[in-house]
Structure 1
Amino acid sequence: MSDDVITGASEVLMHFDLKLEDGSAADSTRVNNKPAKLVMGDGSLTDNFERCLLGLKEGDKKSFTLAPEDAFGMPNPDNIYHLERSRFELEEGVQEGMIIGFSQPDGSELPGIIRSVAGDSVTVDFNHPLAGQTVIFDVEILAVRNSPTVH
């Protein structure tokens, strides 16, 4: 057991549960019992989520409630697109609620949620699925590793 507390440069092994205000689960590392490993500042968590972890140490359990603007932001109307149905080559057809990955010019994939299908028009929402939601971030710190400081 270490006395290391989480700093801006720590490597952290933790379990987390992300819930919505109504208690419904949005994400959890406990489902597959695979703790999340992250290096603070590597971009895998937003600054606001990282700030919640600062000062915690191994064995700590804590719950944080984050407003939409501190969690995944507010939905941006510019991230909603109307596309031609012909652009979707899915055998099962396009249905409301589906999440589809769209290839970006840089080779990455951007997930979009199908919000509606009307005639030849498909409305796709590229906002984060939790945009606009207040989230509860429950964490259990399993291990903290701080690199030795070089003098």
Structure 2
Amino acid sequence: MTESLVIGNDSEVILHFDLKLEDGSAADSTRVNNKPAKLVMGDGSLTPNFEACLVGLKKGDKKAFTLEANDAFGEPNPNNMHYMDRSRFGADLKIEEGMILAFAQPDGSEIPGIIRSVAGDSVTVDFNHPLAGQTVIFDVEILDVKPGTHAQSEN
């Protein structure tokens, strides 16, 4: 019987996770659509603090980690609040507080912005991560661990 691989620096990991807020409300989950996440440690799909939670776990492990805001998505940055003129939005678009809209970047990529307020012709858009400032619970179940591409055995 082979020893279960332990998650290390460049392991390929398949996992289910639930991201919850302190009050227990769900922020994100791979279980909703029963589609596990697949990542390679260090590929940037998770922040270093989230990755650090996974190191040392192995297939079959289930564990929950509580991350303070600074270790999760950071604190809200006031520089990420933007005030835009209503005319920048389509005339037929009904803008309401709490809406999340995609905004095109100069390089063609899009980033999400949350409408925080609408006052006359001024629209306040928040480009902070929606979970910025929140303590989150990262609840994981490791489904599989494979060695990374750099961990090749000698023949």
Q: What range describes the TM-score normalised by the shorter chain of this pair?
A: over 0.9
Cα distance, 1:35–1:2 mapped onto 2, change above 3 Å: farther
Counterpart of 2:25?
24
- The whole-number CA distance in structure 2 between the counterparts of 1:21 and 1:95 is 27
Alignment of 1:1-151 (within 5 A): 3-89=4-90, 91-147=92-148, 148-151=151-154
**How high is the TM-score relative to the length of structure 1?**
0.96
- The whole-number CA distance in structure 1 between the counterparts of 2:42 and 2:104 is 26
Q: C-alpha deviations, 1:72-109, integer Å up to 9, x for none? A: 00000000010000101163411111001111111110
Among all aligned residue pairs of Structure 1 and Structure 2, give the percentage whose two residues are the same amino acid: 72
Q: Which runs of 4+ in 1 moved over 4 A?
A: none
- The count of residues paired between Structure 1 and Structure 2 equals 151
Cα distance, 1:8 vs structure 2: 0.8
Kindly provide the amino acid, as one letter, of the partner of residue 58 in structure 1: K
Between stretches 94-103 and 84-93, larger displacement belongs to 84-93
The answer on whether the counterparts of 1:16 and 1:138 sit within 8 Å (CA) in structure 2 is yes
Kindly provide the amino acid, as one letter, of the partner of residue 149 in structure 1: Q
- The whole-number CA distance in structure 1 between the counterparts of 2:82 and 2:129 is 14
Kindly provide the amino acid, as one letter, of the partner of residue 91 in structure 1: D
CA RMSD of aligned residues (A): 1.3
Kindly provide the amino acid, as one letter, of the partner of residue 31 in structure 2: R
